[in-house]
Structure 1
Amino acid sequence: MSDLFPGAGYPMPFTPQQLRDHAHFAPAFPSTSSDALEAPSPDRSGRVLRAREWLGDQHIQRDYELLMQDLQQNNPDLAARTRLVDPLIAHYQLRLGSASVMLAAFQRIVNVDGNDTADFLFMPVSDASASDPARRGTHWSLLLVDRRNRQSPVAYHYDSRWGGNDRHAAMLAARLSAPLQPASIRQQENDFDCGVFVVDGTRALVARLVQTNGQHIAHLDDVVPDRRALQIRLRNYHGPG
């Protein structure tokens, strides 16, 4: 893949905001004709999440900002070692970008003042198409890369829909030179909560890092997604975006 957006004649933007300015390429889920689902809210701030709406990248990023803010206040040491990666950066730059784009994005993520302090990378995985703007994705999952051993990083993929994103997660892990290890998460019981599993799974993993210093992170079978709590967090958070 070149350093251009698919079908476009300009360089791939490098910042999350520039990516969001080109929202027709963002992996925010489309409307659907299914009676079980609701069309996305026109509010791209991420504050509004309906009862049966698929999460878009803006919802995940907004909750990630809130989680990082809480972590910085309550556990600054772990916050300095943790990266909650913007879904658009994970999708377009780390997974689908050229080697140079991927490397540049990776270095911006892990380095703080020239020092690589990132032990844990949390990355939402989308099945959005790289080349077809109309195929903006139907599923989210979560990839955690554990880099405490810089020479031998490992990755864990948590997919709430029977391995629907296995291929995409494997590609992302391989680009980061992190072999996949066995991992599991509770399976969703509807067609619209995969994104809730991503944010609540991230929160559960961060809590385990706080409580056990990274023990028992391979399995999230006890995670119960709470859409209502997420709706309240998104609505009440007044941070960036």
Structure 2
Amino acid sequence: MVDLTTSSYAEIEALDATALAEATALGATEHLSDAHSGRDYLLLEQELQGANPALAARTRLLEGLISVQLRSPHLDEQQVQSRIKGIYGRDNDTADFLFLPVNNASPDDLRSLGTHWSLLFADGRSRERAVAHHYDSAGHYNRSIAQQLAGLLNATLAPAPMARQPNDYDCGVYVLDATWALVGRLIGGEGPDHQLRPLDDLVADRQALQDRLRRRLPHEEEPGSCE
């Protein structure tokens, strides 16, 4: 069972439990919310903990809102660096892998929902040459934002081959399915450091995501439980 008090997601800024509970439903053409991605990342974290606890300790699955907050003009450099330190370090260990959904919402207005999601996968195993692979199902739509975030993470941006979405609402599904695919490759020990991981053959599966979102999180009670 994942300890939600120390999970990579919860340690940054946990989503409201009500929002996570409501994220069990996803419509046929509905755009993903931060709660949808947060719920799916908690499910993935549970899978990763069970499959490879050591890798789980080196991996951070982050809230998409972080991609907006780090770009806020209301944060000074010290505040940004403090937040990044909180992302990378926990207790005495340091993250090697960061998965950050990138949203193009305006950092000036956190009520803005944005119109597009992409994925930034930062590989920091070599601290001197960290690389941030950017997977964007709309080509280079979020590239400038990804470049800014990579710089804040002291990583070199590397645009990565990614399958193109066939519509205007599945970008978030591509982000989540890409994360599951990349984590699966890490579990399998694929490739040397910083090897480009193409996902140009990725097939996003909204139905599979809908099924996953209906799974219970570790802290959610069984139906009919008296506890």
Q: Same fold (TM over 0.5)?
A: yes
CA contact (8 A) 1:208 1:217 kept: no
Q: CA deviation at 1:217?
A: 4.2
Alignment match, 1:80:
57
Equivalences for residues 96-115 of structure 1 within 5 A: 96=72, 97-115=75-93
Equivalences for residues 205-224 of structure 1 within 5 A: 205-215=182-192, 217-224=196-203
* Structure 2 Cα separation of the partners of residues 209 and 82 of structure 1: 10
Unaligned runs of 5+ in 2: 1-10, 221-227
Of 55, 62, 71 in structure 2, the residue corresponding to residue 95 of structure 1 is 71
Equivalences for residues 36-185 of structure 1 within 5 A: 45-92=22-69, 94-96=70-72, 97-116=75-94, 118-132=95-109, 135-185=112-162
* Structure 1 Cα separation of the partners of residues 211 and 62 of structure 2: 22
Give the % identical residues. Answer: 46
* Structure 2 Cα separation of the partners of residues 163 and 108 of structure 1: 29
* Structure 1 Cα separation of the partners of residues 85 and 191 of structure 2: 23
Q: CA deviation at 1:123?
A: 0.4
Aligned-residue CA RMSD in angstroms? 2.1
* Structure 1 Cα separation of the partners of residues 210 and 93 of structure 2: 36
CA contact (8 A) 1:95 1:175 kept: no
Alignment match, 1:194:
171
Q: Give the counterpart letter for 2:86 in structure 1.
A: R
So what's the TM-score if we normalise by structure 1? Answer: 0.78
Render the CA deviation track for 1:69-96: whole Å, top value 9, x for unaligned.
110011111111111111122321x333
* Structure 1 Cα separation of the partners of residues 182 and 199 of structure 2: 8
So what's the TM-score if we normalise by structure 2? Answer: 0.82
* Structure 1 Cα separation of the partners of residues 112 and 67 of structure 2: 17
Q: Does 1:227 align with 2:206?
A: yes
Unaligned runs of 5+ in 1: 1-13, 22-41
Q: CA deviation at 1:152?
A: 1.5
Moved more, 228-237 or 128-137: 128-137
Q: CA deviation at 1:134?
A: 5.9
Of 11, 16, 31 in structure 1, the residue corresponding to residue 13 of structure 2 is 16
* Structure 1 Cα separation of the partners of residues 20 and 185 of structure 2: 33
Q: Give the counterpart letter for 2:31 in structure 1.
A: W
Count, aligned residues: 204
SS of match in other structure, 2:128:
coil
Equivalences for residues 18-33 of structure 1 within 5 A: none
* Structure 1 Cα separation of the partners of residues 216 and 191 of structure 2: 28
CA contact (8 A) 1:205 1:217 kept: no
Render the CA deviation track for 1:135-157: whole Å, top value 9, x for unaligned.
42000000011100012111110
Name the CA shift for 1:240/1:184 in 2 (closer, same or farther; >3 Å): farther
Q: CA deviation at 1:239?
A: 3.6
